[in-house]
Structure 1
Amino acid sequence: MREKISFEINKNTDGILEAEVLISEPLEVLSIMVDVEQVEMLMGYLFLQDESGKTRFQKLLGYSERVIQIGPSSECTTIGGVPGKIGQGSWKLTLCIFTEEVRKYLGAQTIPVTFEITGEKKEIKESIGEECWVSEEQKCPLYYDQFSWNQKFNGEERWYKGDFHTHTRLSDGKETVANAMEKAKQMQMDFYVPTEHNVIHTGWKHTEVMIVPGVEVTAEKGHCNLFGIDRLPSRIKEIICRPASEQAETWVTEILQEAAERGWLVSINHPFLHVWKWKFHSIPLRLVQFLEIVNDPTYEYAKESNEKAIRFLDLLWQEGYRIYGIGGSDSHNLIEERYDRALEPSVAGDPGTYVFSKGLTPTKLLQNLRKGHVYVSRYCTLEVEITADGETYLPGEHIPVGTKEAVRIQYQVVIRGLEECPVVYAVINRVRMGMELTEIEKGVYEAKTEILFSAGEYEWMRLDVRKEDGTFLGYVNPIYHGAKTPQCKTFGEMVQKASGMI
């Protein structure tokens, strides 16, 4: 078979373009050649549904190659595809374009976009890889019926390093999956969470780095990550087609409710970052487990927005919420690339988010992430030891007082990897207290403190590590005692209450 489908793209083009693809007989492969002069400008989503209505391909047309293929195996199927039979019947090709971007970049221009569809096998450079997470029998929407949630990657009890906000060429990242994994190994990462914009990976290249499925729900008024997903969220297609719609807030709320029902974890991304700040103010905070407190620290606006996120999270804890802080590189660039005026390249693994776990499987990582056994750092690693009444605790845990009036807590941290002496603070109920430091060996620093949690009180304490000039180095999630009923129920109510304090 050979068929051509053409669309004309200009400032008046509707955001959703559809065409029927008629397959007259079963095929071994289906190949699509994308012909557009400015594919980076187009940045549209391409979807393909088979004769039974199942999604067989989903991808953001950005920095990827122009040849797309669905074949019998994951190694001859392009990333974002579902391998298997190419059945006879009516398939549907859908192109969802960013109308705002088209108007911005094209002006009065009109550009043609042509898809040439054949049954000829092509050489592809961006295949799914050796591991396939979906099958032809997958449920609708895309469902991970082949992902190994309990695959064991390590048996040690320790802190594991990873990144909870990453991008590849499946969406708008510039790195291939293979290169992303090379970078992950260079950054000594144990796990990697791909969070593409509104699309999900359907498999992965073989790697020693543990992969945990995620997605970045991306709309005009904000972005949030979902971790541990087992399928494509149900309202994603609506958000892709109408990201600026007045209904987007309702769709995002429905996705977060779906996350709660299915056990996915939710993080609000870069909540105060420039034009990408979170503006879905009616979202209930009970549906959120994490706040991204450090997003790509090399970016021009990062320092101010990340500091606001840290202060805002302190206010959330003071309000009574147990929402934990995590980091995300949000890296889109090639490894040698830097943003304008950046002193360092933007790389996956910077910042590093560390999760304490007894052994490493996707399920165990997510369980310990949910408990807040997490710290975030740049340039250094932290060894945290928390004891009370002879018991050892981890960040994120409740410290019981028992029948006494108060419990005395010993808190110790050892910091490795820094050339200069850091500054360490204990932040107790939003009050910062400096901790004395000892250099126990060259480049290794130790800080200790004792605090009291009183019976009948709601109290919390976290750790803050800085350079002398105040630059961020580390954030250890709080320990706490007691409970408090929050008065602010939504993100917007909390922002209003925080006015002037962040």
Structure 2
Amino acid sequence: MLQFSDDVSFGRHTQTFTVADPISTLTIEGSTVKRGFLYLLVIDPNGALRANILLEKRRKRLAMSEAQASVGAIKGELPTGTWRLEFVNVEGEFRQLKPMQYSLDITFDRPIDNAFVGVESLKGDQHIHFDMQRSLSSESRWYRGDLHAHTNLSDGQNPLEDVLPIAKSQKLDVLFITEHNMCHGQLPEDPDCLILPAMEVTTDLGHCNIHGPARTLNMLGSDITSQTLLDQAIAIKEQRGNLSINHPMMLPWHWHYDRLPLRAITSLEICCDPTWSTSPQATEKALALLTLLWNAGHRVTAVGGSDSHLTPEQRNPKATEPSIYGDPSTYVWANTLNGEAILSGIQAGHVYFERTCKLHVAINQGNVLPGDDVGDGTVTWQISVDNQDHEFYGQWIADGDLIAEHDLTNEAQNIQVSMEDYAWVRVDIRRRNREKHDGQGDIDGVINAVYNGNRPCFHQPTASYWSDLNLANTISLF
């Protein structure tokens, strides 16, 4: 057995070990002394990535052979020569330094009893080889999904084996697994629920999801500053995928990378883990931010994300409801259930999200979808909710102003608005019996806007970078 221990402050630390003779398996077990973010990347003598994992106080085990791999590892030949262990600590650049002490044990030729069998995704070249065109359904409809979820590869509690049972219990059609700064080597496979590759780029300046990336984040370079990692995220998105700003107004994880080009944003996470104590207030501020972006001419898509780190039995502090995959659920209209179609639906804004209201929506009798450009025309929303245990109402928001408000029941409401005087109109769904925010109920859902593409802002946006939004003088974080 080989043993390693040391501590890593902000930055990268390298250890090496030698495989002198052929081996059949490689097992690496490790943990940290305290809670924090310490990444381990394993590189073989050929320069291939063979494992990535977030080390924690709980002991974790990676295992690999030519034909098998655990969660976090990548199967393949185990060449002789010098292997590298790259430890990366990305915390402390703009906050207090947080040195992370670790211990690691390495054994050869130990039988693998924790192999995971799924669809191959991340490979040793650090690229994603998942087939984004593989379809589970050819039906055109609303697909229910969650765009933000974690497992115990990073700091979540659910093992990867439990993802599908939980997702299916929540009636999800699609789930993006968004581990911090890394991707899974394999993903669960199911004929009815599509698990898609993704990652959450996590820095001191904010977090963003990349949905459907072509490659994972490269943390092997000498520069792991927030700016470098976030610029890398933008470059990965430009190659393939969607970039979603996570919990943008939720302290201390709010977004404050001022150099972000607004054109790079695909979606904005409005509601994140609604069982977290500060989520309702952060949701209201995210809606105000969404208004700023749309008024500046950037048609980003409003989405939700559970950001679930817990098992269904666990609870956040002071919470009575579980933080679980699918709460909130993000519904995407797509003409087939595959990765490319889901990404395209999000890009087009053909999206609404909800928590509990069980929303039904049709616009212009189904001929218009959220995100569509309807010009100066008249738009009719037909909306109903199936949940009769609570009272819900809809607010029609045009260019940031409330123009109509109606109670919602299981009887469809038909609401008509002329777009002649507006650049965009969205619908916020609220629960009337939770009036907290200046007399308004908590957000239960949002239907993305329809747009009037004739408006000048969509031809010549008035803001180009995050800093141009001037949030310090428009939306208070505190």
| Residues 17-416 of structure 1 aligned to structure 2 (within 5 Å) | 17-34=13-30, 36=31, 38=32, 41=35, 43-62=37-56, 65-73=59-67, 76-97=68-89, 100=92, 113-124=103-114, 127-135=115-123, 138=124, 140=125, 142-145=126-129, 147-207=130-190, 208-234=192-218, 236-238=219-221, 245=225, 248-260=226-238, 262-387=239-364, 392-401=367-376, 407-416=377-386
- Change beyond 3 A, Cα 1:154–1:275: same
Matching residue's letter, 1:421: E
Matching residue's letter, 2:227: E
- Change beyond 3 A, Cα 1:255–1:353: same
Matching residue's letter, 1:218: T
Deviation at 1:148, TM superposition (A): 2.0
Is the Cα contact below 8 Å between 1:424 and 1:447 reproduced in 2? Answer: no
| CA distance in structure 1 between the partners assigned to 2:250 and 2:322 by the alignment | 19
Is the Cα contact below 8 Å between 2:92 and 2:204 reproduced in 1? Answer: no
1:211 aligns to what SS in structure 2? strand
Aligned partner (choices 454, 465, 484) of residue 429 of structure 2: 465
| CA distance in structure 1 between the partners assigned to 2:166 and 2:108 by the alignment | 35
- Change beyond 3 A, Cα 1:25–1:438: closer
| CA distance in structure 2 between the partners assigned to 1:286 and 1:179 by the alignment | 36
Aligned to 1:9: 7
- Change beyond 3 A, Cα 1:340–1:28: same
| CA distance in structure 1 between the partners assigned to 2:179 and 2:157 by the alignment | 12
- Change beyond 3 A, Cα 1:274–1:501: closer
- Change beyond 3 A, Cα 1:202–1:160: same
Is the Cα contact below 8 Å between 2:357 and 2:392 reproduced in 1? Answer: no
| CA distance in structure 1 between the partners assigned to 2:168 and 2:182 by the alignment | 24
Deviations 1:440-483 (A, max 9, x none): xxxx14222111122xx661111111111211111000001124
User: RMSD over aligned Cα, in angstroms?
Assistant: 2.6
Q: TM-score, normalised by structure 2?
A: 0.90
Deviations 1:399-446 (A, max 9, x none): 144xxxxx222221122224233111111111113344464xxxx142
Q: What residue ranges of structure 1 are gaps of 5+ in the alignment?
A: 402-406
Aligned to 2:438: none
Q: Give the number of aligned pairs.
A: 464
Deviation at 1:40, TM superposition (A): 5.7
- Change beyond 3 A, Cα 1:304–1:394: same
- Change beyond 3 A, Cα 1:198–1:130: same
| CA distance in structure 2 between the partners assigned to 1:112 and 1:231 by the alignment | 28
Q: TM-score, normalised by structure 1?
A: 0.86
Matching residue's letter, 1:25: D
Deviation at 1:250, TM superposition (A): 4.1
Deviation at 1:59, TM superposition (A): 0.8
Deviations 1:100-127 (A, max 9, x none): 5998888xxx966132232322322xx3
Aligned to 1:434: 404
Query: Structure 1 residue 421 and structure 2 residue 415: aligned?
Result: no
- Change beyond 3 A, Cα 1:438–1:198: closer
- Change beyond 3 A, Cα 1:42–1:409: closer
Deviations 1:262-303 (A, max 9, x none): 131101111110111111012111111111000111101111
| CA distance in structure 2 between the partners assigned to 1:14 and 1:27 by the alignment | 34
Matching residue's letter, 1:181: L
- Change beyond 3 A, Cα 1:500–1:256: closer
| CA distance in structure 1 between the partners assigned to 2:357 and 2:71 by the alignment | 34
Aligned to 1:404: none
Query: Structure 1 residue 450 and structure 2 residue 438: aligned?
Result: no
2:168 aligns to what SS in structure 1? helix
Matching residue's letter, 1:308: K
2:252 aligns to what SS in structure 1? helix
Matching residue's letter, 2:212: G
Is the Cα contact below 8 Å between 2:217 and 2:232 reproduced in 1? Answer: no
Aligned to 2:467: 492
